[in-house]
């Protein structure tokens, strides 16, 4: 297969009815998301035959084409180069009108658009954490005749830079992405983010735990939002809206001076004194509720989440979990969502593999086996939409397998050092004494879904 992404982009645009039929284009970790004027102009068969396309589906007003991690970025870049990336106000109004009043799904899509661009930083940080954990294990050091005390302090400081920076300055990343999403100037978003984590402010988590005193201004308590998510998100949203509002009302003569000045001043007042404290309480409660779910006794939380997580993927709202994972990592340095989600992913791979093994149809085999590889690499859309949901029962058996694996993951108290990678690549987040248990629960999830699908979940007559 060639890597002519410009050709692929042109074929995609033509297959969905041409550039005139595209309102806007965006992408998540695996899919090219197109909002179209007329769904009926799309030739699904042509889309399916385009090189590197692993599947497609239409949901929430979006035509989503599955390319997979890495590939989708390159295709989107070429689509953007062909002039399909932006949206005008009239087009946005039309897009909202066509999508109806489903505000919840639109909100989820906004969260996705903001947090997907910063996930690579989270992935790298998680891998650094895993590698640091391996290097500092006593058993590993003993192999070289060393102890933890033998490691130079400068080397420890170097590793801490790699593992701590992204979370310490997390509001900077989120404000930048929020400003960009909502039409503001990204550099102002970076400034707001830096102000939220200014060294002059006491750490918000320390204030919440009573180990530091907040600053008081006009009778309102003020603290920093190091490793926080929602305060930065809302500050970015409000800041971008303020900038747009000021820019419309300030003459061109004074725009360069007054608009940035007023945007930063007003946004910081709102962010530190009004919205920040409220948003911080919300995120603390959110992480607490999710943590409680995953720590329910007898593995019940893992059973529940492992059984429904891929069902949530079908709806497309799973991207909202990025907020929880990022905040959980920032607050505790651990991710309880990843191991259970990985079990659910492996189970869908097992179900698709059973279909491929049992069917006599060359076409279904050609769909099944590549989708298994994709799922084991963490991308389940080809397996779900191309195979399992097509026959329904394999998808259900995959949910059962995910529930079993999630149940065991909870019992074993598995927790990842990062986020953004799962299934087999997710092994890199468990390079410690959890590694054998992680492999075990992944294998069991795959095996349960495979066995159930092979015995009860698929017959060739259903394909017909």
Sequence-ordered list of residues with C-beta below 8 angstroms from that of 50, at least 6 positions apart, any chain? 8, 11, 12, 15
28 is catalytic: yes
Rounded Cα–Cα distance for residues 383 and 351 (Å): 9
Rounded Cα–Cα distance for residues 344 and 155 (Å): 38
Which pair of structure tokens corresponds to residue 3? 């890597």
According to DSSP, the residues that pair with 125 across neighbouring strands are none
| H/E run at residue 32 | strand 31-36
Which pair of structure tokens corresponds to residue 171? 């509001």
Task: Write the DSSP assignment of 393-421 as a string of letters.
Answer: HHHHHHHHHHHHHHHHHHHTT--BS--S-
Which pair of structure tokens corresponds to residue 235? 């500050």
Rounded Cα–Cα distance for residues 145 and 41 (Å): 68
Sort residue 57 into left (φ over 0), alpha (ψ -120 to 50) or beta: beta
Sort residue 100 into left (φ over 0), alpha (ψ -120 to 50) or beta: left
Using DSSP, state whether 38 is helix, strand or coil.
Answer: coil
Buried/exposed code over 208-226 (b: 16+ C-beta within 10 A; e: otherwise): eeeeeebeeeeeeebbbbb
Which pair of structure tokens corresponds to residue 266? 């007003």
Rounded Cα–Cα distance for residues 384 and 379 (Å): 10
Determine which one of 12, 15, 23, 28 is catalytic. 28
How far is CA 132 from each of CA 116, 141, 156, 433, rounded to the nearest angstrom? 25, 12, 9, 13
Rounded Cα–Cα distance for residues 408 and 47 (Å): 40
How far is CA 60 from each of CA 45, 105, 314, rounded to the nearest angstrom? 21, 7, 11
Query: What positions carry a catalytic annotation?
Result: 28
């Amino acid at each position: 297969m060639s890597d002519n992404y410009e050709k692929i982009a042109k074929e995609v645009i033509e297959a969905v009815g041409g550039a005139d039929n595209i309102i806007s284009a965006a992408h998540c970790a695996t899919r090219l998301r197109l909002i179209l004027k007329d769904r009926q102009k799309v030739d699904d068969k042509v889309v399916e035959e385009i090189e590197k396309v692993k599947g497609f589906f239409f949901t929430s007003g979006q035509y989503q084409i599955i390319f997979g991690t890495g590939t989708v970025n390159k295709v989107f870049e070429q689509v953007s180069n062909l002039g399909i990336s932006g949206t005008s106000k009239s087009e946005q109004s039309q897009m909202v009108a066509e999508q109806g009043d489903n505000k919840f799904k639109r909100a989820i899509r906004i969260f996705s658009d903001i947090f997907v661009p910063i996930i690579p930083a989270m992935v790298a940080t998680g891998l650094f954490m895993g590698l640091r954990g391996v290097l500092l294990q006593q058993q590993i050091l003993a192999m070289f005749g060393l102890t933890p005390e033998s490691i130079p302090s400068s080397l420890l400081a170097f590793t801490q830079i790699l593992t701590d920076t992204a979370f310490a300055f997390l509001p900077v990343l989120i404000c930048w992405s929020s400003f960009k999403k909502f039409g503001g100037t990204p550099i102002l978003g970076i400034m707001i983010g830096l102000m939220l984590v200014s060294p002059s402010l006491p750490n918000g988590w320390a204030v919440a735990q009573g180990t530091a005193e907040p600053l008081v201004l006009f009778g309102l308590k003020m603290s920093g939002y190091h490793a926080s998510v929602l305060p930065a998100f809302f500050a970015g949203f409000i800041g971008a809206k303020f900038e747009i509002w000021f820019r419309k009302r300030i003459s061109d003569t004074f725009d360069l001076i007054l608009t940035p000045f007023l945007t930063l001043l007003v946004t910081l007042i709102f962010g530190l004194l009004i919205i920040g404290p409220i948003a911080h309480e919300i995120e603390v409660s959110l992480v607490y509720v999710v943590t409680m779910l995953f720590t329910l006794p007898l593995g019940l939380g893992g059973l529940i989440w492992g059984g429904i997580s891929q069902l949530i993927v079908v709806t497309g709202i799973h991207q909202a979990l990025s907020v929880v994972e990022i905040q959980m990592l920032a607050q505790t340095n651990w991710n309880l969502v990843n191991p259970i989600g990985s079990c659910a992913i492996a189970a869908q791979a097992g179900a698709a593999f059973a279909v491929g093994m049992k069917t006599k149809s060359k076409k279904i085999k050609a769909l099944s086996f590549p989708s298994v590889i994709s799922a084991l690499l963490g991308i389940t859309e080809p397996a779900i939409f191309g195979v399992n949901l097509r026959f329904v029962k394999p998808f259900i058996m995959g949910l059962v397998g995910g529930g079993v694996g999630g149940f065991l993951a909870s019992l074993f108290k598995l927790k990842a050092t990062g986020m953004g990678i799962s299934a087999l690549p997710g092994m890199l987040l468990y390079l410690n004494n959890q590694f054998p248990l992680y492999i075990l629960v992944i294998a069991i999830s795959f095996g349960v879904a495979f066995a159930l699908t092979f015995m009860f979940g698929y017959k060739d007559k259903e394909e017909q």
